[in-house]
């Protein structure tokens, strides 16, 4: 391997992004704007995505990648990195490596990647969910536990890091503008077309082997948000004050809209939008969603999920060629009972009728979490109740909203404002929350949460690598939670899904202790 000139790069922390899709871009964009960090390498199997990502964030448009910057997949990078380290130990001059890794692949790939890179000792930010089963989450916890893993670890629970939510938490927990928190109603409005895209036609339409579905993939960070507000202690509280753990967890949910029994009669036996007589009248028409509302107006972001290189086709060959490519993809279909189920499950079908899909995840679900009164800490926390409502059929897309009921007032929030009313002085206060700049190409950033998490992660790595700060201190000061905290939030999701499937109420503490014993995790 030839020696590379790293005199300029040595001034910055270097990061690898595994997976150059939407989530990879959401983190790479803010990191590339930080003076102390750089995206140094990418591992991505789709050629167009990898090259576009590299030209945008790493080697620049019109330039070629240097050695150690471009890999067709994460396994190729891992083999290269292991060889690089072996050569470095032998005294050879080698290209530079990276300080940390962003894992931004599809959910089912996370655990294999995490277990493979754990021995490298690199700092890690893994997109949510960490894994698609509790067993796999526990295996990651064990792999990254111990003194030998003295690293910063973060999970993509981005709701914690938006300016809006950080102000909301300060008002509730530090300023106590409505007194003790007694109840929260939190709604995740997925969006009518977004659910059809991702959870009816897209890669998250089927539940996992454990029958866990859209609650995990769409709303595990909403559960984390509720625990951040209601279980974790306020900022500035002594670290030895334990969290306020839930008493019970229950859930109900169903697939109500996207099923064959709801199919409009005029659609007949059509299974694909491009051959459906009802297509022009159907709100879920793939032609209307992907062509009329996006390609026709030059908005290609979501279309990259359908045709990976459609942006390049539009720019180099024009609208007609891009439309031809899009419609060819939308026309692809399958025949139930004829096409092997493994083939159906293995890919997306964006032109498929939403009422004839193979989807089985909930499009409407409610989770209820209950806390008993807690006298065991100086905080003397009251009993409280929280509900999360994840619902598909909404006008608003992913802009959370909710109401918090306190002992001295009531507070309502959405993505833009916070309003609270004081029972004591009977006054209303409306707070305009800070906004964060959106990312490139109109990618939504969870109200600045993607940027906030990426910045916090890089800052924590810098504190450890450049300033000698202890990992535990940097993790607490910048990330605000541990890997154990993140896995606890995932566990609440799995408990809620078990409660939904079995139509029961989960006794959280007993359930969680039994699971930790089952998977050999020390309590």
**Mean pLDDT value across residues 505-513:** 97
Judge if 375 and 387 occupy the same domain: yes
Q: Give me 210's structure tokens.
A: 């454990």
Judge if 90 and 149 occupy the same domain: yes
Q: What is the CATH number of the domain that holds 428?
A: 3.30.360.10
Read off the pTM: 0.93
Question: Residue 281 is part of which domain span?
Answer: 273-345
Number of domains in the chain: 3
Using DSSP, state whether 409 is helix, strand or coil: strand
Exposed (0-12), middle (13-18) or buried (19+): which is 61, by Cβ within 10 Å?
exposed
Residue 163, phi-psi category: left (phi > 0), alpha (psi -120 to 50), beta (remainder)? alpha
Categorize the per-residue pLDDT at 436 as very low, low, confident or very high, splitting at 50, 70 and 90. Answer: low
Is 456 contained in some domain?
Answer: no
pLDDT in tens, 374-413: 987 778 899 999 999 999 999 999 899 999 999 999 999 9
Using DSSP, state whether 311 is helix, strand or coil: helix
Q: What percent of the chain is predicted at pLDDT more than 70?
A: 95
Q: Which of 157, 190, 211 is the last residue of a domain?
A: 157
Categorize the per-residue pLDDT at 145 as very low, low, confident or very high, splitting at 50, 70 and 90. Answer: confident
Q: Own/partner pairs for 505-509, CB < 8 Å, 24+ apart?
A: 505/248, 505/249, 505/250, 506/248, 506/249, 506/250, 507/247, 507/248, 508/245, 508/246, 508/247, 508/248, 508/249, 509/245, 509/247
Is 174 contained in some domain?
Answer: yes
Is 351 contained in some domain?
Answer: no
Is 145 contained in some domain?
Answer: yes
Judge if 183 and 302 occupy the same domain: no
- Between 233-237, 294-298, 482-486, the lowest mean confidence (pLDDT) is in 233-237
Judge if 338 and 322 occupy the same domain: yes
Q: Which of 157, 188, 204 is the last residue of a domain?
A: 157
pLDDT in tens, 28-58: 999 999 999 999 999 999 998 999 999 999 9
Q: In which element (H, E) is residue 193 found? A: helix 192-195
Judge if 277 and 163 occupy the same domain: no
Judge if 179 and 37 occupy the same domain: no
Q: Does residue 2 surpass a pLDDT of 50?
A: no
Is 472 contained in some domain?
Answer: no
Residues 6+ apart with CB under 8 A from 219: 188, 388, 390, 493
pLDDT in tens, 73-130: 999 999 999 999 999 999 999 999 999 999 999 999 999 999 999 999 999 999 999 9
Judge if 79 and 209 occupy the same domain: no
Q: Do 461 and 479 meet the contact criterion of CB atoms below 8 Å apart?
A: no
Using DSSP, state whether 194 is helix, strand or coil: helix
Q: Which of 104, 126, 157 is the last residue of a domain?
A: 157
Q: Of the candidates 301, 258, 298, 305, which has an alpha carbon nearest to the alpha carbon of residue 282?
A: 258
Judge if 314 and 338 occupy the same domain: yes
Q: What is the CATH number of the domain that holds 137?
A: 3.40.50.720
> Distance between CA 120 and CA 490 in Å, rounded?
25
Q: What is the mean pLDDT of the chain?
A: 92
Residues 6+ apart with CB under 8 A from 250: 367, 368, 496, 499, 504, 505, 506
Residue-level pLDDT at 241: 82
Judge if 131 and 176 occupy the same domain: no
Is 60 contained in some domain?
Answer: yes
Judge if 336 and 393 occupy the same domain: no
Is 107 contained in some domain?
Answer: yes
Other CB atoms within 10 A of residue 167 CB = 17
Is 492 contained in some domain?
Answer: yes
Using DSSP, state whether 14 is helix, strand or coil: strand
Judge if 152 and 164 occupy the same domain: no
Judge if 221 and 370 occupy the same domain: yes
CA distances from 497 to 139, 215, 218, 320, 494 (A): 20, 8, 13, 46, 5
């Amino acid at each position: 391997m030839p020696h590379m000139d790293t005199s300029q790069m040595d001034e910055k922390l270097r990061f690898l992004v595994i997976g150059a899709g939407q989530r990879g871009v959401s983190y790479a964009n803010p990191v590339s704007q930080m003076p102390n960090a750089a995206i140094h390498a990418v591992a991505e199997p789709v050629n167009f995505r990898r090259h576009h990502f590299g030209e945008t964030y790493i080697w620049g448009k019109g330039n070629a990648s240097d050695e150690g910057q471009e890999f067709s997949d994460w396994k190729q990078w891992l083999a290269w990195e292991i060889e690089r380290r072996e050569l470095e130990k032998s005294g050879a001059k080698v290209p530079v490596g990276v300080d940390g890794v962003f894992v931004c692949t599809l959910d089912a790939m996370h655990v294999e990647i995490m277990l493979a890179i754990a021995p490298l000792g690199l700092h890690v930010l893994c997109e949510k969910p960490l894994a698609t089963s509790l067993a796999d989450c526990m295996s990651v916890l064990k792999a990254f536990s111990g003194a030998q893993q003295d690293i910063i670890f973060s999970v993509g629970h981005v709701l914690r890091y938006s300016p809006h939510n950080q102000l909301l938490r300060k008002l509730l927990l530090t300023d106590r503008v409505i007194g003790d928190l007694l109840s929260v109603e939190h709604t995740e409005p997925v969006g009518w077309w977004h659910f059809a895209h991702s959870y009816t036609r897209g890669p998250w339409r089927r539940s996992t082997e454990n029958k866990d579905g859209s609650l995990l993939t769409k709303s595990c960070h909403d559960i984390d948000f509720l625990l951040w507000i209601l279980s974790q202690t306020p900022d500035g509280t002594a670290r030895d004050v334990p969290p306020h753990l839930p008493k019970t967890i229950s859930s109900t949910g169903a697939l109500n809209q996207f099923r064959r029994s709801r199919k409009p009669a005029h659609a007949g036996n059509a299974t694909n939008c491009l051959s459906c007589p009802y297509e022009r009248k159907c709100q879920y028409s793939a032609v209307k969603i992907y062509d009329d509302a996006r390609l026709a107006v030059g908005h290609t972001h979501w279309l990259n999920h359908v045709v990976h290189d459609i942006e390049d086709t539009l720019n180099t060959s024009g609208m007609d060629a891009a439309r031809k490519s899009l419609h060819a993809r939308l026309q692809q279909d399958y025949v139930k009972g004829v096409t092997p189920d493994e083939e159906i499950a293995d890919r997306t079908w964006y032109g498929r009728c939403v009422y004839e899909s193979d989807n089985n995840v909930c499009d409407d679900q409610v989770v209820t979490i209950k806390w008993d009164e807690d006298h065991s800490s100086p905080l003397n926390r009251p009993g409280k109740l929280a509900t999360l409502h994840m619902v598909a059929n909404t006008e608003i897309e992913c802009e959370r909203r909710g109401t918090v009921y306190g002992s001295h007032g009531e507070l309502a929030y959405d993505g833009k404002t916070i309003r609270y009313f004081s029972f004591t002085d009977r006054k209303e206060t409306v707070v305009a929350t800070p906004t964060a700049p959106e990312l490139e190409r109109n990618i939504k950033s969870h109200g600045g949460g993607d940027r906030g998490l990426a910045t916090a992660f890089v800052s924590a790595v810098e504190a450890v690598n450049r300033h000698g700060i202890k990992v535990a201190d940097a993790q607490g000061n910048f990330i605000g939670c541990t890997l154990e905290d993140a896995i606890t939030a995932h566990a609440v999701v799995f408990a809620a899904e078990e409660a939904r499937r079995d139509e029961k109420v989960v006794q959280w503490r007993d359930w969680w202790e039994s699971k930790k014993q089952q998977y050999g995790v020390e309590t």
